[in-house]
Amino acid sequence: MTDEDLMELFQAGTVEAYNLLVDRYSERLMHYLYGFLQDRKRCEDLLQETFLRVHRNRHSYQRIAKFSTWLYTIAGNLARSEYRKQKRRHMQSIQSVSRDNEEYEMPLPDETFLPDKHTESALQDEYIQEALGAISSDFREVLILRDIQQLAYSEIAQITGLPMGTVKSRINRGRSKLQSMLGGIYPFEKKDSPDPADLSDNTPQLETVE
């Protein structure tokens, strides 16, 4: 069954359909959120909050929109909000240290979420994760959505609220930055063949769930 079919069943009261959607998207959303925050525990909290909002706002979803786009919009709003909070907390810590002239420890990413480091592909994934964490969040989000989550440009534009041209520009610039940092490790080409879904200008608008 499609995501949209499951969502309709859930709206009609079939809880099992909701559980299937959770199983279908939990791992993918975890990777998406981790790309923002590099903190497994916080990502787990946001993952739960994302599906809680899906449950709570299920009747606001309309089938004219892809379920995945609606879902990633919810997760993206939560992740961006948390990322801004982390930056504010970080700046406050720096200001406090500057005033008090004391040293403090910088929090490190939770490496328990990283893949097994003993295989070549896992090491490659680790390098990519580190590089993604080092570039601007503007580039990081669209790269995760496009190159890791394999979403269409039109979906990314709706999830981020950016014009299509800005999405494509950020993806190309982000890829160039990663290529310069990682050399031949980053496995994605700088140019894509067009997505069939992006050839139409009749993409439905979504109602963002806050």
How does pLDDT run across 76-120, given as a tens digit for each residue?
889 888 877 866 654 544 444 444 444 433 343 343 333 333 334
In a domain, 210, yes or no: no
Total domains in the chain come to: 2
Q: Considering only CA atoms, which of 121, 129, 118 is closest in space to residue 182?
A: 129
Indicate the Cα dihedral angle 125, 128, 133, 138, nearest 10°.
Answer: -120
Give Cβ neighbours of residue 87 (< 8 Å, ≥ 6 apart).
none
Q: Which of 60, 79, 111 is the last residue of a domain?
A: 111
pLDDT (0 to 100) of residue 10 = 96
* Pair (95, 118) in one structural domain: no
**Domain carrying residue 53:** 1-111
Q: Say yes or no: 34 and 77 in one domain.
A: yes
pTM of the model as a whole: 0.59
Both 3 and 58 in one domain: the answer is: yes
Q: Are residues 69 and 120 in the same domain?
A: no
Looking at 91, 111, 131, the residue that finishes a domain is: 111
Q: Examine the domain organization and report whether 45 and 104 are in the same domain.
A: yes
Query: What is the residue whose two structure tokens read 């004391």?
Result: 102
- Same domain for 23 and 98: yes
pLDDT at 67: 93
Instruction: Give the domain-ending residue among 72, 93, 111.
Output: 111
Taken in order 145, 151, 152, 157, is the CA torsion positive or negative?
A: negative
133 occurs within a structural domain: yes
Q: Is residue 205 domain-resident? A: no
Residues of the chain with pLDDT under 50: 90, 92-123, 190-191, 199-210
**CATH for 166:** 1.10.10.10
Query: CB pairs under 8 A, 24+ apart, for 128-132?
Result: 128/178, 128/182, 128/185, 128/186, 129/34, 129/35, 129/38, 131/178, 131/181, 131/182, 131/186, 132/35, 132/178
Residues 132 and 151 both lie in one domain: yes
Tens digit of each residue's pLDDT (9 = 90 or more) over 58-80: 999 998 888 999 999 999 889 88
Q: In the numeric block, which tokens belong to residue 104?
A: 């403090």
Query: Looking at the structure, do residues 159 and 84 belong to the same domain, yes or no?
Result: no
pLDDT, position 83: 78
Q: Is residue 166 part of a domain?
A: yes
The pLDDT of residue 169 is 93
Confidence at residue 150, expressed as pLDDT on a 0 to 100 scale: 83
Tell me, yes or no, whether 2 and 106 share the same domain.
yes
Largest CA distance in the chain: 60
* 209, part of any domain: no
